[in-house]
Every structure is written in C-alpha cells, then in structure tokens.
Amino acid sequence: MSRQRYCLALDLVDDPALIAEYERLHQRIWPEIADHLRGVGVLDMQIWRLGTRLFMVMETAANFSAQAMDNASAENPKVQEWEDLMWAFQKPTPWTEPGNKWQAMARIFSLAEQPR
C-alpha cells in the first residue's frame, strides 16, 4: 500500500499546567476524533514534543486529500468542539501562515536518498 507522510509543527502555550493537560487529553483522544481521522484516510498519527514545540507525523493513504480532510472537519461539530478545546493549549509558530494551525515542515534530508 502506498502512503504519504506529512510532518507539521505547532506550538503550545508556555504553561506547565496547560501542557500537562494537553498531554493528558492526548493519552486517549475522543473516539469521534479518532474515527474522523481514520475516515479521511489518516493511517497513523504521532505527536512529539520538545518544550513548547509540537511535531506531528501523519501517515496517510495514497489518495489522502488535505482539502477533503479540512472540509470534513469543518462539517463535523465534534471535530470543531475538539479543535476549539485544543486552541486553549496551542498557538501558531512564528512561521505559521495566517489562517493555519499546524504548519507543514519542509524535508531537508533523507538518508534513503544518499548514495551508498
């Protein structure tokens, strides 16, 4: 099965209590959110943290469409409720484009592309 990989960044509000609560909420996300992600073609998603910087790795089906995911998210009240809750903890990076939340990162290295 062919896949796509997306790597995205977002920041957290610099507050240890909020960061702890954000991590707690992600130990078991709402089932409707997991169902939504799987339903739009997300095969796996991981979020990593260093200080207040978040790094998301999202593996998707080959036919995944970020626009279709955005559209489905906008039409899903439970997803909108989750996103509103998450904004209490999150903030855009200094490099985030206006209107975006998670900002796509540019790949600058791949060992697989290095000569042997």
Whether residue 44 lies inside any domain: the answer is yes
Nearest to 70 by CA among 40, 98, 110, 29: 40
| Whole-structure pTM value | 0.92
Which tens digits make up the pLDDT trace of 59-95? 999 999 999 999 999 999 999 999 999 999 999 999 9
The whole domain housing 31 covers: 3-104
CATH value at residue 35 = 3.30.70.1090
Which tens digits make up the pLDDT trace of 96-109? 999 889 999 999 99
Whether residue 65 lies inside any domain: the answer is yes
Q: How many domains does the chain have?
A: 1
Whether residue 13 lies inside any domain: the answer is yes
Whether residue 110 lies inside any domain: the answer is no
- In whole angstroms, give the CA distance from residue 17 to residue 23: 10
pLDDT band at 1 (very low <50, low <70, confident <90, very high): low
Structure-block tokens of residue 15: 């507050």
Whether residue 109 lies inside any domain: the answer is no
- In whole angstroms, give the CA distance from residue 52 to residue 82: 20
